[in-house]
Amino acid sequence: SQCGFCTPGIAMSLYALLRNNPNPSEEEIEECFDGNLCRCTGYRPILDAAKTFAKSENNCHEDDLGSKEIDQQQNGIKTCGKEDCCKLNNSNTKWQSIIDLKFPQIKFKQYDATQELIFPPTLITSYKSYPLYLTGRKTECFKPNNLNELLLLKFRYPKAKLVSGNTEVGIEVKFKKMDYNVLIYVGDLKELKGYEFKDEGLVIGANIILAQFQEILQKALETFKALLTNLRWFAGHQIRNVATPAGNIITGSPISDLNPIFMSTSCNFTISCHNETVDTSSPYNVTSKNINCVSRDVSANEFWTGYRQNTCTSTEIITKIFIPLSHKRQFVRAYKQSKRRDDDIAIVNAGLMIQLDDENYVRDVGFGFGGMKSVSVRTPLSEEWLIGKQLGNTNVLKGLLGRLSEELQLSFNAPGGMASYRKSLVSGFIYKFWYDISKSVGISTEEFDENDIDEFIGTIERNVSKGIQSVGFKENDKKIVGKEIPHVSSMKQVTGEAIYTDDLPKIHGELYGALVLSQKAHAKMLSIDASRALAIPEVKGFFSAKDVPGENKWGPIINDEEVFVSEEVKCVGQIIGLVVAETQAIAQEAALLVKIEYEELPHILTIEEALQQNSFFNDNTMVKGDVDEAIQHSDYVFEGETRIGGQEHFYLETQASLIIPREDNEFEIHASTQNPTETQRAGASVLGILANKVVCKVKRLGGGFGGKETRSVPLTLALLIGAYHLKRPIRCMLDRDEDIIISGQRHPFLGQWKVGVNKEMKLQALDLKIYINAGWSADLSPAVLERAITHSDNCYYIPNMRLHGKTCKTNIHSNTAFRGFGGPQGMMITENMMSEVADKLGIDVVKFREKNLYSEGQQTHFNMTLKDWHIPSIYEQVKVSSEYEIRRQEINEFNEKHKWRKRGLSLIPTKFGLSFTEFHLNQAGALVHIYTDGSVLVSHGGVEMGQGLHTKMLQITAEALDIPLENVHLMETATNVIINTSPTAASVSSDLNGYAVLKACEVLSKRLKPYREKMPDKNFKEIVKAAYHDRVNLSANGFYKTPDIGYDWKKKEGQMFLYFTTGAACTEVEIDVLTGDHTILRTDLVMDIGRSLNCAIDLGQIEGAFVQGVGWCTIEETLFFPNGQIFTKGPGNYKLPGFRDIPQDFRISTFRNAEYPNLKTIHSSKGVGEPPLFLGSSVFFAIRDAIKSVRKANNNNEVVVLRSPATSERIRMACMDELVVTNLVEQKKDEKGWIISA
């Protein structure tokens, strides 16, 4: 684990699998995590651990692990613990990794399912179901005992909401603000859960859970196969274990995965209600003798009447579903396209049925589509046209595609967006279906061979993922530093015992705060009316700008943000006020009752709109050489534009804070923040008190990634004001949608470049304009722009450069720090440029990159001389180890043979500068105490957020004091212990705090040295006691400031960074041309991380950063409505990479045998948190390479300009084949899309 916030859920998913299947396959283990997410690890270590439970398949890790201790590292190679592990075979490398016996060893026990506790059988046999009635402050809840009681209740309460799995009701209450006064729980009614096979088909109870529905459908029948296809991708295991078909049907979502199949195969729904002539004086005094159940059957094709509307009356419920058996020569297939395969809603889905006669003429047909209208629809005109036509006739296929395109029309701004893509998906599904059925009935085609058809008619299937980690180092003289010590909190995280901010026990008198947020992108506030909220007895107060006792302004660089908006809101989600109540539910309910009256003003959302309106915060320029002259004398000059989207941090623990007022106007803050000192400083300012009365404490974060560097502060400030007035503790942990609305993201970028190249294919000059979408406030955007400017060379020597950047002021959330801090965007612009220029020159882009790589001793455009520069060697190492040349030829051959599946390959380098660009932040302090029992307590200024910082600090301490690791402890980060801390950011926290800790330990070691020399045979405890009795100070503080740096942006002189962390990655992908799906076949990655303090932790950082980078440039897309409301505000429509989105073959190694004579860091280590992230773009450029092959096959030589992220939509539309071109939807003049990218 890393941050550990996701770990208990992942452990429970695995545990649930093992309870149901004690001997799962590796594939089943990967599938069981389809509803889980992790933002830190990159999933590989989780899967490796989980797969130790897999049944034997001649793999090396499933043998009996037994109760013996397992050394999971042998000769530096990560193994499964077996003496004959396959990873040890033919290994001649002798890397030192054996953990010293001083360290606590982890012992693994064999899992034995027979020893698990079972539910007591006596309780099962003695259980009797009783009807229940519960009432709350606003809601009545019923649990009927049988169907009769349910129907009677529904008759008596026609507006009652039926609840089973609660998967949809929760969404309706939370996001649609639905208010149900009467709930009826139907989850355990036997009459709604049975099933029966009949001669005509299958009848199932409408309320059977989807997981059981899947089990029932495991029959070799066409309709059932189609349902199974889409059920496999229906949400995740957790949802399928509680959700029901009836809930899906009644909800009537236009993108339901089941309804198109129900429609295309003419399924029937049985709808029942109570006969109203029966006495209803008591809902529970009924029997089967005095109730009439009236039922009717409705075809699925007639059930839905409009958006989420159907033919059921308010007293009716669905009780049964009839699924007809397939007939002779009847074929049914299901299709679904989404942003990601696992646990995602559909963009378009389909249930397609066709019945043929013996001559392959169409006798019957049913096409059901979701995502094309406001309801799932049939296509009667196209179906009628197809009847009587012969399968296998290419002209018939073309005619069918044309008629479907006409029948399923979409406007450019159709709800859901992506109009052209959705229409092309319909054509793609029909194309797959046509050739699938043709193959099934033995119709051959000259267009494709049999193997090609087998591949493109289905979805891209993944192999079980595997990985190789080659992470050892040469043997060193260190006992603890450099060893692969497990994360010190890992066991607590796995067992769920690790404490996060909101886990802190509730304090007597504690209240809960809920934020009142702006609903307008830009408007004047005319009035605020909180009277309805304050009328609720449990509400204790409402606070707004007039209640701020100190300064109602704050900001990390400039004070341009109000704690509470006073007059003018500048984005949706800006904080207007705080409601404080006894409970979370009441506080959130009351916050919605605060009425704000607005006068709307014009708003700006996108970079392009900001350019039109000349709306900016600041600009910055860096120039090297004479760009104009160099371009004029270049042999080739090219221009282009690169657009890059934002990215949501999506740390698993949302922003959280607990404020505890103390005596003398003191305040204790427990916050999930990367920046305790800024929290303390801003808190004191808004309260109008001195900083010495405010302390901020942080135990650990459930992820940060930059999103809690500054954007954690506003929540804490709001709560402080409430606690100040009420003199009571207040806490709040934001819901996911609140967090996304408020907290800001990675900056979207626009790069406009002009580049000169000579005949030797050497870069001569670059003129680059960079625009970043800062949002409504400056936050850290000027610094993000600076880092983008300094990283826009990536690893290439460009003798003449002119970089001019502007931060765009818009009316979206204030964008902020995110892992890489502008560096990845700057490098992405350059790598897009390199790819496009190479294509225009007609040369291999890898050779083009190699020709232009920096060499040792050359200077960057900010005049920093490159020392210990290993990129040329790293690039070559990756090229060789990945077998680039061989695989390049194999991919070319594959692409020649396959029209609708293409593969791509890329090899990308990266360089990341380590140091804060803000000079004063490059400092850190530490405090080390030695107690008389020989134990040591360490404090430092860094925050643990999963990156293993505390573990490394403990290693440094134990090494420096020459004591066992278990004798060293670290409690928390607190501003009353370590003052004036820098934020935990910029990948330098180990550098800064590590040296501070080391310096404190060196002071203590010097004080203890005389006693160690005098008492060489005594243990540490006795030595410490002797020093104590001599009144030696056993406490020391350490302070460190990074040497030799300090760049002056005005004078353009000085050293920008202390050093660079570098690396390279080669990635191969495969794309489904007809849908835009992709899978990562293999990634080879090498990082130069110096002499690692803890290679296991650094490996986790590399993998996690890479996968986060993959998400940034592929599936993670932030979208807004034109009114400024964010569309992607939760996991339902903002998708992270999941367990089955990582490379199928993931090979990582560290650069070895390097010397670092100029590296002035703690134990010659390097920062590793951010640098690997950009290597995720190797997936993006491999996708681009695959798209090039599609265009080449269609004689389209136009250079591929691919916008990031490369979503399935963008991949499909960039292919520009005939099915795309014929489905393009025209954008009318001044017509905006339904959703937009900022």
163 marked ligand binding residue: yes
**Cα distance between residue 758 and residue 752, in whole Å:** 21
Q: Is 80 annotated as a binding residue?
A: no
All residues at 6 or more sequence positions from 672 whose CB lies less than 8 Å from its CB, including other chains: 500, 501, 653, 654, 655, 656, 657, 698, 701, 702, 708, 712
Residue 1170 annotated to the active site: yes
DSSP β-bridge partners for residue 973? 698
Q: Is 787 annotated as a binding residue?
A: yes
Q: What's the CA gap between 293 and 960, in Å, rounded?
A: 80
Query: Does 821 show up as a binding residue in the annotation?
Result: yes
Give the DSSP letter of residue 1236. B
**What would the 3-class secondary structure string for 1082-1096 be?**
EEEEEEECECCCCHH
Q: Determine if residue 917 is labeled as part of a ligand binding site.
A: yes
Q: Which two tokens stand for residue 631?
A: 């371009």
Known binding residue 156? Answer is: no
Is 986 labelled a binding residue?
Answer: yes
Q: Is the distance from CB of 510 to CB of 661 less than 8 angstroms?
A: no
To the question of whether residue 32 is assigned a binding role by annotation, the answer is: no
Distance (Å, whole) CA 928 – CA 961: 11
Pairing of strands 317-324, 201-205: antiparallel
482 marked as binding residue: no
Question: Which amino acid, one-letter code, is at 792?
Answer: S
**Residue of 177, 176, 1116, 1120 whose CA lies nearest to 571:** 1120
Say if residue 201 carries a ligand binding annotation.
no
Q: The tokens of 126 are what?
A: 């003695």
CA count, 13 A, side-chain hemisphere, 655 = 29
Closest of 425, 609, 654, 231 to residue 1207, by C-alpha: 425
Is 479 part of any known ligand binding site? Answer: no
For 433-520, strand residue ranges (E) read: 466-470, 511-517
Residue 116 assigned ligand-binding role:
no
Q: DSSP secondary structure string, 643-696? A: EE--B----SS--EEEEEE-GGG-EEEEE--S-HHHHHHHHHHHHTS-GGGEEE
Residue 844 annotated as lining a ligand binding site:
no
Q: How many angstroms separate the CA atoms of 469 and 1101, rounded?
A: 13
Give just the sign of the alpha carbon dihedral 486, 489, 494, 495: positive
The reply, when asked if residue 1072 is annotated as ligand binding, is no
DSSP 84: T
| Residue 5 known to bind ligand | no
CA distance 1045 to 920: 10
Beta bridge partners of 1165: 1090
Q: φ and ψ at 325, to 5 degrees?
A: -70, 155
Secondary structure of residue 933 in the 3-state scheme: coil
Q: How crowded is residue 831: how many other Cβ atoms within 10 Å of its Cβ?
A: 26
| CA nearest to 944, candidates 989, 899, 978 | 989
- Which stretches does DSSP call E strand in 776-873? 800-809
Structure tokens at 1076: 């835009």
* CB 423 within 8 Å of CB 1225: yes
- The response to whether 257 counts as a known ligand-binding position is yes
Instruction: Give the active site residue among 62, 407, 1103, 1170.
Output: 1170
Residues 6+ apart with CB under 8 A from 903: 891, 894, 895, 1068, 1069, 1070, 1071, 1081, 1186, 1189
Distance, in Å, from the CA atom of 687 to the CA atom of 694, rounded to the nearest integer, reads 10
Q: What Å distances lie between residue 1037 and 938, 977, 985, CA to CA?
A: 10, 10, 22
The 3-state secondary structure of 556-598 reads CCCCCEECCCCCEECCCCCEEEEEEECCHHHHHHHHHHCEEEE
Q: Is 777 annotated as a binding residue?
A: no
Q: Is 110 annotated as a binding residue?
A: no
**Backbone torsions φ then ψ of 516, nearest 5 degrees:** -100, 120
Decide if 311 contacts 298 (C-beta within 8 A): yes
593, 528 Cβ separation under 8 angstroms: no
Q: Is 234 annotated as a binding residue?
A: yes
Q: Which residues are annotated as a binding site?
A: 3, 6, 38, 40, 162-169, 234, 257, 336, 674, 705, 709, 787, 819, 821, 917, 986
Q: Which residues are annotated as a binding site for substrate?
A: 709, 787, 821, 917
Q: Which residues are annotated as a binding site for Mo-molybdopterin?
A: 674, 705, 819, 986
**Residues known to be catalytic:** 1170
Q: Which residues are annotated as a binding site for FAD?
A: 162-169, 234, 257, 336
Q: Which residues are annotated as a binding site for [2Fe-2S] cluster?
A: 3, 6, 38, 40
